[in-house]
Structure 1
Amino acid sequence: MSGFDFNLFEKQVDELVGLCDRLREENASLRASQEHLVAERAELIEKTELARSRIEAMVLRLKSLEDQL
């Protein structure tokens, strides 16, 4: 063990701890972004369904008017 460099080992451990901290922060940020995007997607799906039902209702009204002529 006489050739073991404790200073180098300590530096490498510090770098590893720093990397773990950065990855933990990045992971939290990505999870927050994912939650936001999932909520936004749900909102867009709801708006799309509302628009679809309104368009279908308009088409039915137009067909009804056409049948009356």
Structure 2
Amino acid sequence: MDELDLKKLETRVDDLIKAVDRLQQENKTLRDSQTNLMSERNQLVEKTELARSRVEAMIEKLKAMENE
């Protein structure tokens, strides 16, 4: 291997290291985003269940008032 080949290899290795670093950061960002989205989804599911319970309770009250 001559000096030019060695420099090319070194440059390529540096480029690959930078790509790995970039992909690791991107992966972390995506994982954090996924965690946040799952948390938000869970909160929305809870709110939906609460709303459903309230609506069902109102319907029962209306039926009871109707039967009086």
Q: TM-score, length-normalised on structure 2?
A: 0.93
The match for 2:45 is 45
Instruction: Give the drift of 1:36.
Output: 0.5
The match for 2:31 is 31
Structure 2 unmatched ranges of 5 or more: none
Instruction: Give the drift of 1:22.
Output: 0.1
Within 5 A, what are the aligned runs for 1:5-20? 5-20=5-20
Residue identity over aligned pairs, in percent, reads: 51
For residues 11 and 36 of structure 2, what CA distance do their matches in structure 1 show? 38
Structure 1 unmatched ranges of 5 or more: none
Higher helix proportion: 2
Instruction: Give the drift of 1:65.
Output: 0.7
Cα displacement string for residues 19-66 of structure 1 (whole angstroms, at most 9, x for unaligned residues): 000000001101110110111010000000000000000000000111
For residues 32 and 19 of structure 2, what CA distance do their matches in structure 1 show? 20
Task: Tell me the amino acid that sits aligned with residue 10 of structure 1.
Answer: E
For residues 55 and 25 of structure 2, what CA distance do their matches in structure 1 show? 45
Q: Which runs of at least 4 in structure 1 moved beyond 4 Å after TM superposition?
A: none
Q: TM-score, length-normalised on structure 1?
A: 0.91
